[in-house]
A and B are shown apart, each in its own frame.
Chain A
Amino acid sequence: MSAAVQTELERTRVRARRRQQSKNWTLFLLFAGPNILLILAFIYYPLFSNMYYSTLDWRLGSSSATPVGLENYASFFTSASGIEVWRVTGIFTAGAVLGSMVLGLLIALVLNKKIPGKTAARTAVFSPYVLSGVGVAMVWNFIFDPTRGGLAHILDFFGFDSPEWYLNEDWSLLMVIVVYVWKNLGYCAVVFLAGLQSIPKDLIEAATIDRAGPIRRFVSVTLPLLTPTVFFLLVTNILFSMTNAFDILRTMTPSGHGTNTIIFEIYLQSFGAYQRAGYSAAIAVVLFFTLFFITAVQLRFVERKVHYS
């Protein structure tokens, strides 16, 4: 074969590859383009435009905005109302995550036993997780009603007075935590159950033969093997509780009475009475970076470093 023919062949090959590549790109954009475009327009663009809005002193609906640099951020981290949001978010997250994980684990341990009807029980326990937060919150509003609610009647039966759940800020925060845990614990139970079922039976049996009691077996065998599940749930629950609770908060305490978590504050600041859109955007940016940080920690640290044994 002459050199000329060879280069001609090479050129044809390159051309064919290019044609194939541009055909591939066309197909790729046809298949994935619309979704990518939507993600860019309604997730990425907002993420970055929020960063711009966060540097403005600007009311929603107003045509004028004053650039204020990082003042909104400074205000969120130092003002009394900003610190209050951090405090409420911290308590809500801790209560919601611990409550649903501890109760979820207890239920999973029970459901892990060989008892008839446990599949139906599992379904029932998980069901609140898929129900409308608004509907669920309305039901619990009635239950918590200090004079007409079911809880007041139960407390009355045992000789207690029902506290003013909606008037006292500490009680209202506890109230929304209880409802969030009620809705969320089935999720934890199901994930814990999957974790428990992946623990080899012979390890538990070996511990039993070594005369370890149920508590000892749980602490020395089950719990260490469950660490990956615990960390997974810890991270996802922190993320969920910071974002998913809005419908419960807004329905149970419409104007945020001691229940202003970050997500609720973002809404109240721009769409509530204040209409401080710039300040709200700053909080949204802070929330995004908080979530991003938690996820990054999970991917970098937890996923790699937590091992069995």
Chain B
Amino acid sequence: MRRGSWLDAFSRQNLADTIFTGYLPIFVALLVIVLPLAWMVSSSFKPPSEIVTLSPTLLPQDPTAGNYGDVVDRVPLLTMFGNSVYVTLVGSSIKVFLAVTTAYALVFIRVPGRNFIFLGILVALMVPPEVSMLPNYLTITSLGGRDTLWGIILPGLGTAFGTFLLRQHFKALPKEMFEAAELDGAGHFRKLFQIAAPVSIPAIATVGLVTVVNEWNSFLWPLVITGSAEKMTLPVGLNLLQSVETQAGSYGILMAGAVIVIVPMLVIFAALQKYIVAGLTQGSVK
């Protein structure tokens, strides 16, 4: 039998193979991923009567934006949305800035013991924020940061992950670039802001996006440190909403809330997934 003929691609065997081991499983997987999200969006537009019905339809029969209005009535949603945006943007910008300067210092500024300092940062990477929760709660409370936005932001600012990622990246930059700059009399500030940072935009973007995703979704710490609805971020606020809305008919309202916290990240991810995937799976490809 002649192998590799282009006709093979259209043979019954190959066609069946593509459908049953290719398209069919992918279709099932996509259904499992997409269906819950579609159910969420659709339910968020359903009036309560369509939520409690015993014969539900995937699409709302009588679409209404009323659930979104109801969410705003129940909790100060716009304030919470603003809080989330503020915490995410301020927190991420500072974190990324600190990651860039720390990584630069670790790679380019010669001081004895800097590898030891890096080791310390690596160990910090292993401490999950949950372990630091109780002492940080006491520290921030004693500083007067309970129920404030800076109290949400401050304990998370030290960045081990971004430093680690950017250090690996800076180490791989060609030495000649920096030697040439030194001959021109450039100091560390110029080498960082005019050479190292500009040529590393993709890596910095990766760190930035991963940080944005984590800050936006962050839940435990904001839950612990906030008490009033006006200072809550979206995930905490929705958790509060869920504890208030316990009737079956209020699923529409809860789904409207879920849409508001989920869709912004979904949009950012769809647009910039290449960078986000690179950051979140860092270290896996050997």
Which A residues have a C-beta under 8 Å from some C-beta of B? 21, 24-25, 27-28, 31-32, 34-47, 49-50, 53, 60, 106-107, 110-111, 113, 115, 117-118, 121, 123-136, 138-143, 145, 147-148, 150, 153, 182, 186-187, 190-191, 194-195, 198, 228-229, 232-233, 236, 243, 246-247, 250-251, 254, 263, 266-267, 270-271, 277, 280-281, 284-285, 287-288, 291-292, 295
Pairs A-B, 7 closest by C-beta atoms: A38-B158, A46-B132, A46-B135, A31-B105, A39-B158, A32-B105, A134-B235
Q: List 16 A-B contacts (CB under 8 A).
A: A28-B114, A38-B159, A50-B135, A53-B135, A107-B29, A123-B270, A125-B33, A129-B280, A133-B217, A139-B37, A139-B40, A142-B40, A145-B248, A191-B285, A198-B286, A247-B235
Q: B31-46, CB under 8 A of A: which get 1 and which 0?
A: 0111111011001000
Closest Cβ of chain A to B105, distance in Å, is: 4
Name B100's closest neighbour in chain A (CB-CB).
A31
CB atoms of B281 and A251 under 8 A apart: no
Interface residues of B in 183-234 (CB under 8 A from A): 188, 192, 213, 216-217, 219-220, 223-224, 234
Given A131-B262, A250-B239, the answer on whether A45 and B135 have CB atoms closer than 8 Å is yes
A-B pair count, CB < 8 Å, reads 275
Q: How far is the CA of A119 from the CA of B124 in the complex (A)?
A: 35
Residues on A with beta carbons closer than 8 Å to the beta carbon of B134: 46, 50, 53, 60, 266, 270, 277, 280-281, 284
Residues on A with beta carbons closer than 8 Å to the beta carbon of B286: 198, 228, 232
CB atoms of A35 and B265 under 8 A apart: no
Which of A28, A37, A111, A138 is the one whose CB lies under 8 Å from B258? A138
Q: How far is the CA of A172 from the CA of B224 in the complex (A)?
A: 24
List 7 additional contacts besides A46-B131, A130-B217; criterion CB under 8 Å. A31-B101, A43-B158, A129-B280, A132-B235, A142-B255, A246-B130, A266-B130
CB atoms of B261 and A132 under 8 A apart: yes
Interface flag for B77 (CB, 8 Å): no
Interface flag for B67 (CB, 8 Å): no
Q: How far is the CA of A242 from the CA of B134 in the complex (A)?
A: 18
Interface residues of B in 45-70 (CB under 8 A from A): 51-52, 56
Interface flag for B30 (CB, 8 Å): yes
Q: How far is the CA of A238 from the CA of B236 in the complex (A)?
A: 26
Q: How far is the CA of A246 from the CA of B237 in the complex (A)?
A: 16
CB atoms of A130 and B111 under 8 A apart: no
CB atoms of B284 and A194 under 8 A apart: yes
Which B residues have a C-beta under 8 Å from some C-beta of A? 18, 21-23, 25-26, 29-30, 32-37, 39-40, 43, 51-52, 56, 98-99, 101-102, 104-106, 109-111, 114, 117, 120-121, 124, 126-128, 130-136, 139, 154-160, 163, 188, 192, 213, 216-217, 219-220, 223-224, 234-236, 238-239, 242-243, 248, 251, 254-255, 257-259, 261-262, 265-266, 269-270, 273, 276-277, 280-281, 283-286
Residues on B with beta carbons closer than 8 Å to the beta carbon of A25: 111
Q: How far is the CA of A61 from the CA of B276 in the complex (A)?
A: 41
Residues on B with beta carbons closer than 8 Å to the beta carbon of A60: 134
- Which of B32, B104, B163, B258 gathers the greatest number of chain A CB atoms within 10 Å? B258
- Which of B51, B133, B216 gathers the greatest number of chain A CB atoms within 10 Å? B133
Q: How far is the CA of A280 from the CA of B130 in the complex (A)?
A: 11
CB atoms of A31 and B158 under 8 A apart: no
Which of B216, B235, B281 is the one whose CB lies under 8 Å from A187? B281
Q: How far is the CA of A182 from the CA of B224 in the complex (A)?
A: 26
CB atoms of A21 and B130 under 8 A apart: no
Which of A36, A153, A194, A250 is the one whose CB lies under 8 Å from B285? A194
Given A49-B135, A142-B251, the answer on whether A121 and B30 have CB atoms closer than 8 Å is yes
Residues on B with beta carbons closer than 8 Å to the beta carbon of A182: 32-33, 36
CB atoms of A35 and B98 under 8 A apart: yes
Which of A21, A126, A142 is the one whose CB lies under 8 Å from B111? A21
CB atoms of A148 and B121 under 8 A apart: no
Q: How far is the CA of A47 from the CA of B261 in the complex (A)?
A: 32
Q: How far is the CA of A270 from the CA of B220 in the complex (A)?
A: 13
Closest Cβ of chain A to B6, distance in Å, is: 14
Residues on B with beta carbons closer than 8 Å to the beta carbon of A35: 98-99, 101-102, 158-159, 163
Q: How far is the CA of A98 from the CA of B70 in the complex (A)?
A: 40
Name B273's closest neighbour in chain A (CB-CB).
A123
Q: How far is the CA of A145 from the CA of B220 in the complex (A)?
A: 25
Residues on A with beta carbons closer than 8 Å to the beta carbon of B33: 124-125, 127-128, 182, 186
Residues on B with beta carbons closer than 8 Å to the beta carbon of A39: 120-121, 124, 158, 160
- Which of A36, A190, A228, A270 gathers the greatest number of chain B CB atoms within 10 Å? A36
Given A31-B102, A121-B30, the answer on whether A148 and B235 have CB atoms closer than 8 Å is no
Q: How far is the CA of A285 from the CA of B135 in the complex (A)?
A: 12
Residues on A with beta carbons closer than 8 Å to the beta carbon of B36: 139-140, 143, 150, 182
Residues on B with beta carbons closer than 8 Å to the beta carbon of A47: 127, 131-132
- Which of A136, A139, A254, A288 gathers the greatest number of chain B CB atoms within 10 Å? A139
CB atoms of B26 and A121 under 8 A apart: yes
Residues on B with beta carbons closer than 8 Å to the beta carbon of A139: 36-37, 39-40, 255, 258, 262
CB atoms of B262 and A24 under 8 A apart: no
Name A198's closest neighbour in chain B (CB-CB).
B285
CB atoms of A131 and B266 under 8 A apart: yes
Given A39-B160, A125-B29, A142-B43, the answer on whether A247 and B220 have CB atoms closer than 8 Å is yes
